[in-house]
Structure 1
Amino acid sequence: IHLQVRNMGREWAFDVGVVDRSGQEGVVRCSTFQKQPKLELGVPPHLLLPLSCPPSSSRPLTSWSTNSLNLPSLLPHFSSAALARADEDDEEPSPFSPAYKYNGGKMQVPSGTLSHVSYVKVYATCRLRIICFSEGGPQQRLSWEFQSHAADNA
Structure 2
Amino acid sequence: MKRVRIVRLSTFQKSARLKLPVRGKPTLLHLPLSFPMASESSHLLTAWTTVTLNLPSLMPHFSDMSMLGDDDDASRSLSTIAVGAFSHVSQEGPGADLPWEFQLYSDA
TM-score after normalising by structure 2: 0.61
Instruction: Give the match for residue 76 of structure 1.
Output: 60
- Could you tell which deviates more after superposition, 63-72 or 47-56? 63-72
Aligned partner of residue 57 in structure 2, secondary structure: helix
Alignment of 1:107 with 2:76, yes or no, is no
Q: Quick one: which amino acid aligns to residue 44 of structure 1?
A: P
Aligned-residue sequence identity (percent) comes to: 35
Instruction: Give the match for residue 135 of structure 1.
Output: none
List gaps (5 residues or longer) in structure 2: 103-108
TM-score after normalising by structure 1: 0.45
Q: Please show how residues 1-154 of structure 1 align to structure 2 within 5 Å.
A: 22-42=1-21, 43-56=25-38, 62=44, 66-84=50-68, 87-88=69-70, 106-107=79-80, 109=82, 112-118=86-92, 121=99, 123=101
The structural deviation recorded for 1:24 is: 0.5
User: Structure with the greater relative contact order (CA < 8 A, sep ≥ 6): 1 or 2?
Assistant: 1
Q: What root-mean-square deviation, in Å, do the aligned CA atoms of Structure 1 and Structure 2 show?
A: 3.3
CA distance in 2: counterparts of 1:50 and 1:23, whole angstroms: 26
Q: Quick one: which amino acid aligns to residue 90 of structure 2?
A: H
Change (3 A) 1:122 1:33: farther
* Aligned residues of 1:76 and 1:112 also touching (Cα < 8 A): no
Aligned partner of residue 72 in structure 1, secondary structure: helix
Bigger share in strand: 1
- List 4+ stretches of structure 1 deviating above 4 A: 63-66
* Aligned residues of 2:9 and 2:33 also touching (Cα < 8 A): yes
CA distance in 2: counterparts of 1:71 and 1:117, whole angstroms: 9
Bigger share in helix: 2
Change (3 A) 1:35 1:122: farther
List gaps (5 residues or longer) in structure 1: 1-21, 91-103, 125-154
Aligned residues: 86
